[in-house]
Structure 1
Amino acid sequence: MSVTERLYSVLIRRNAEAEDEVPANRRHTIAPNGLRLVLANALQSSGDQVVNASTVLPWLFAALGVPPALTGVLVPIREAGSMLPQAFLTPLVLRVRYRKWVFIAGALVQAGAVAVMAGIAALGEGLAAGLIIVSALAIFALGRCLCSISSKDVQGRTVPKGERGQINGVATTAAGLVAITLGLVIRLLGGSDIAAEQLFWLLALGVVLWLAVAAVYVGIREPVNEQSAPSKSTTNESASEHKNSFVRMAALLRQDKPFRDFVTVRSLLLLSSLSPPFIVTLSVHAGASSLTGLGGFIIASGLAALIGGRLFGRFADRSSKKLMSIGAGVASAVIIVTVGLAALPAVSADSWWGNMLFVVSYFAVTLMHTGVRIGRKTYVVDMAQGDQRTVYVAVSNSAMGLILLVVGGLSSLLALLHIAWALLFLAAMGLTGVVAGGRLPDVSRG
């Protein structure tokens, strides 16, 4: 057994039955491909921490004197911008025989966008700097869109069922270690008063990380298709079928019930991604300060990724639908308890356990979001084959881009009344998602 095979077997609990179904001439590529996917995903997740629209970029805006109103567009542009174009881009992706090159192109686009942000961190200031960074973030989101469409297809072609969730989990764990280290360094260097010059070096690191992602992906040995190479006419026909993107998206959601059910459940599970910022705001209103400072936020999310990545990876391979439901259920319960306790008069800046309440709540919801994210990624890879997987990923992400804008808008309106109403609205969505998720078919093979 080679060193690569031994290392892969240490990191991943292998599924012998599933590997036996892989064509004999491709079995020797499972371990090296799997290790490259682990490394690439870990580097990508680390890059996401460096260019985080919820933490790093708002700090950069504050350091450059960008008007606060512009800060509010960062997360919508980052999230919806990486999802909405996917249905439009699918026909182009379907024309590419080796989907890894689509991913590599996306990684290089993101590296270039982060380089622009780093340059502005060093030289810019005020509204002009903010507008350029927002424009660069939109380009970054487009690059991430390409990576999102192609990555799950590459994983589905190169790694058998029963091992895909673990790859996502190990990569998330590695990224968590990087995030914790990064957060500690930031706290030591600048605390909550980190300057634009220091953020320049942080963003420069992000450029290096995204270039490394592209370099790792080059070495992946990807088959043209899971059974056989598609003919040119088949590829063109497939692309033609998806030319009218929104019409095709609506038709797929209307006609494909299992896929429609998955998208519905995924929509309800948005609670775990949208609620953490509201928990932070609730803690600020209560006078808590345990989560202040850029380094503190990165450490908290990194610790959740470190624990959740390894914990939930194998769980996803056993039953990704159960992982999604459990993650949503626990996150909803944590939010409800947090809102209830936060209403007590004793919860204030003078109460150490009051401060701890928000720290533990933020960590728990972020941990559950890690599980939900790994679960739904594994589910969509396992439920489809070949080009259908590419279409599923693109259409579900495009639909989620629209739904994210709607749900985000509703929760923001409720937050105008009180943060607690926004959190309770999201918790109710999550509990509904638990019920709906239990009705999904089990597509895992662990």
Structure 2
Amino acid sequence: MLNGWFVFLGDAFFNASIVLSSFAAKLGAPNSVIGLLPALLGAGSMIPQVFVAPYVARLPVKVVLYRRVAVLRVSSLAFIALASFVLGHRPDLLLACFVLGLALNGLVTGFSSLPFWETVAKTIPMERRAALFGGRNLVGGILAFLAGLLVRYLLGTSLPFPIPYAILFTLGTLSFGIGWYLFGLSHEPPDEGRPPEHIRLSLPLKDFAFRRFLRVRVLFALASMTEPFYAAYAVRGLGQSSEIGLYLTLYTLASVLSNLLWVRLSQRYGSKLLILSGASLGMVTPVLALLLPPGAFGLVFVLQGTYLAALGLGTTTYLLNTADPQNRSSYIGLANTVVGVVSFSPVLGGLLADRLGYAAPLLLATVCYGWGLYAGRKLEGRV
């Protein structure tokens, strides 16, 4: 729980859709690079998991690997913060260091994700997992909301660019470091019996329910091509650069408040309803982004925080609850690796935005969310 609260703080200071994308935009990065940023953090951390799964499955206590990798994760973020303090006069070099640091962080995170989920699954009973993530999301979201106020204040000061961002990255590094240290203190019970000698990564694909779930996750990953471009569109298309802090505040506040609803619905009706609700909101948000006037553009970030909270909680609990406990590493590793590859879709979104304008990735994301909504109707019911 404590880990989640500090990680939420770190996520606020390193928010890929708002803070990182606006930072890259001010450095003059093309939209294809802006689209790469969330992919480096999200997809980069997912892709290695299928290759790490056999090794993790043979570890009787998984959290040991998590502790070792945490040092590398903190170091990569500290590199970004340091570069932001000393390379302000070289925006091209700063952008290169920024992208490199995010890439390193995403890669090493891929080695700690499986130990994290295995530890959670082994220590938290199925019926309490939604409450755990709900508590993490609620209090963590409140902290992120307060952090959003600080982000807005720092980005509105007269400090020369990129010093405000350097301060944010430093605070984010400290928050993540504390959170990862705290999770490393978890008392994970060792696996019972002998560890498996061979992990069949193809086994989950024989599970019809898993294949349906994976199809939905892939569609949502494709739809994520639009997530970093709401802030970029606000900065470059609507001239709302000074409102980035406000947008982050609205995003986190919406995530916090909607989480109260999502947890209650998940406990009462199951994760499927959250997946369908999140897909519905995700489908209409890109269209609204193209229609709203600049003064009302904050509504886009309210909806974004709401539907991403639903999809995050819904897909996480659905996979943990449906995966075969004896083969959980292969289920989680395969799902995250496949989704990770597709999660480079923001790069495609950036290329489309550069060539055709922001309307192209936004409308394509609407189609993908709609398709995911249709496919999600066929998922198993109360899980």
Match of 1:170 in 2: 135
Counterpart-to-counterpart distance in 2, 1:417 and 1:115: 36
2: distance between equivalents of 1:44 and 1:184? 17
Name the SS for the 1:177 alignment partner. Answer: helix
| Alpha-carbon distance, 1:164 to partner | 0.7
Residues in 1 aligned to 2:232 and 2:238: alpha-carbon distance in whole angstroms:
10
Question: What is the distance in 2 between the residues matched to 1:48 and 1:384?
Answer: 27
Alignment match of 1:263 (pick from 214, 227, 230): 214
Give the aligned residue type for 1:327: G
Find out whether 1:317 has 2:267 as its counterpart. Answer: yes
How far is 1:192 from its partner?
A: 7.3
The AA in structure 1 aligned to 2:369 is G
Structure 1 residue 53: Cα displacement:
3.2
SS at the partner of 2:42?
helix
Q: For the aligned residues, what is the CA RMSD? A: 2.8
Aligned to 2:196: 235
Name 2:182's counterpart in structure 1.
216
Residue 196 of structure 1 is matched in structure 2 by 162
Identify the residue that residue 100 of structure 2 maps to in structure 1.
135
Query: Shift of residue 41 of structure 1?
Result: 1.5
Structure 2 counterpart of 1:47: 10
Provide closer, same or farther for how the CA distance between residues 174 and 107 of structure 1 changes in structure 2, counting only shifts above 3 A.
Answer: farther
Q: Distance in 2 between matches of 1:218 and 1:410?
A: 36
Residues 161 and 317 in structure 1, CA contact (< 8 A), matched pair in contact too: no
> Which position in structure 2 is the counterpart of 1:120?
83
Aligned to 2:286: 335
8 Å Cα contact 2:9-2:147 kept in structure 1? no
Q: Classify 1:390/1:144 alpha carbon distance in 2 versus 1 (closer, same or farther; 3 Å).
A: same
Q: What secondary structure does 2:190 align onto?
A: coil
1:373 aligns with 2:336: no
Counterpart amino acid of residue 388 in structure 1: N
Count matched residues. Answer: 377
Of residues 363-372 and 98-107 in structure 1, the stretch that sits farther from structure 2 once superposed is 98-107
Alignment gaps of 5+ in structure 2: none
- Structure 1 residue 76 displacement after superposition: 2.6
Aligned mates of 1:202, 1:412 — CA distance in 2:
25
Greater Cα offset, 273-282 or 327-336: 273-282
Question: Bigger shift: 78-87 or 295-304?
Answer: 295-304
Deviates more, 1:174-183 or 1:371-380: 174-183
Instruction: Say if 2:19 is the partner of 1:56.
Output: yes
Quick one: percent identity of the two aligned structures? 24
What is the CA–CA distance in structure 2 between the aligned matches of 1:272 and 1:253, rounded to whole Å? 24
Aligned amino acid, residue 181 of structure 2:
A
CA–CA separation in structure 2 for the residues paired with 1:86 and 1:422: 28
Task: Check 1:117–1:412 CA distance in 2 against 1; reply closer, same or farther (3 A cut).
Answer: closer
With over 3 angstroms needed to count, the CA separation of the structure-2 counterparts of 1:253 and 1:131, relative to structure 1, is same
Shift of 1:115: 1.3
Q: What is the correspondence of 1:290-369 to structure 2 with a 5 Å cutoff?
A: 292-318=242-268, 319-339=270-290, 342=291, 354-369=293-308
Give distance in 1, aligned partners of 2:109 and 2:258.
23
* Deviations 1:48-102, CA, capped at 9 Å, x for gaps: 2222333333455567x57557555323322221111111111221222112223
Q: Structure 1 residues 336 and 198, CA, compared in 2 at 3 Å: closer, same or farther?
A: closer
Q: Is contact 1:192-1:294 (8 Å) kept?
A: no
Conserved 8 A contact 1:273-1:369: no
Quote the offset at 1:384 in angstroms: 1.7
Structure 1 residues 342-390: Cα deviation after superposition (integer angstroms, max 9, x where no partner): 2xxxx6xxxxxx2344221331133111111110011111112435222
Instruction: Quickly say closer, same or farther: Cα 1:361–1:430, change in 2 above 3 A.
Output: same
CA 1:271–1:316: 2 relative to 1, 3 Å? farther
Aligned-partner Cα distance in 1 for 2:234–2:34: 20
Change (3 A) 1:369 1:142: same
Matched to 1:316, the amino acid is S
Matched, 1:149 2:88: no
The aligned residue for residue 63 of structure 2 is 100
**Structure 1 residue 89 and structure 2 residue 28: aligned?**
no
